[in-house]
């Protein structure tokens, strides 16, 4: 099965990060929907650290776990989305990987929209 070229974006943020009073990961999902991106998934990590070297993990009174937001998109739409998403992030990391994408719809290969 051969696919088409795509980009996998991984945005690493913190669960407590906010954007205009809303959890950042929720705001990013909404922005991806507004940008008509193909899809986005949010994962909560068990534990991790980033540029601050502060370890993020579950606490009794507050949530402070790492969040990874994954987006698969065409190279063109990914290139357009990156600066928009970056502007929403107070801190974090964006990793971009070249991928081969195969979309399956009703058992058949379909184009990435």
Domain boundaries, the chain: 4-110
Looking at the predicted structure, is the pLDDT value of residue 46 above 70?
Answer: no
Arch. (CATH architecture) of 4-110: 2-Layer Sandwich (3.30)
Average confidence score pLDDT of the chain: 89
CA dihedral 104, 105, 110, 112 (to 10 degrees): -80
| The pLDDT value given to residue 73 | 96
Q: Summarize the confidence of residues 11-27 as an average pLDDT.
A: 95
pLDDT tens-digit profile of 59-83? 666 677 889 999 999 999 999 999 9
Residue environment code for 67-103, b if the CB has 16+ CB neighbours within 10 A, otherwise e? bbbebbbbeebbeebbeebeebbeebeeeeeeeebeb
Residue 62: its pLDDT value, please? 64
Q: What is the pTM of this model?
A: 0.85
pLDDT of residue 64: 73
């Amino acid at each position: 099965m051969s696919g088409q070229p795509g980009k996998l974006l991984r945005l690493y943020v913190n669960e407590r990060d906010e954007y205009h009073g809303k959890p950042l990961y929720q705001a990013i999902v909404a922005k991806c929907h507004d940008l008509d991106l193909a899809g986005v998934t949010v994962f909560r990590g068990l534990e991790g650290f980033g540029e601050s070297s502060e370890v993020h993990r579950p606490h009794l009174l507050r949530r402070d776990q790492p969040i990874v937001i994954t987006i698969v998109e065409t190279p063109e739409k990914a290139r357009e989305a990156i600066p928009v998403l970056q502007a929403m992030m107070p801190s974090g990391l964006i990793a971009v990987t070249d991928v081969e994408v195969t979309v399956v719809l009703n058992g058949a290969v379909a184009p990435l929209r």
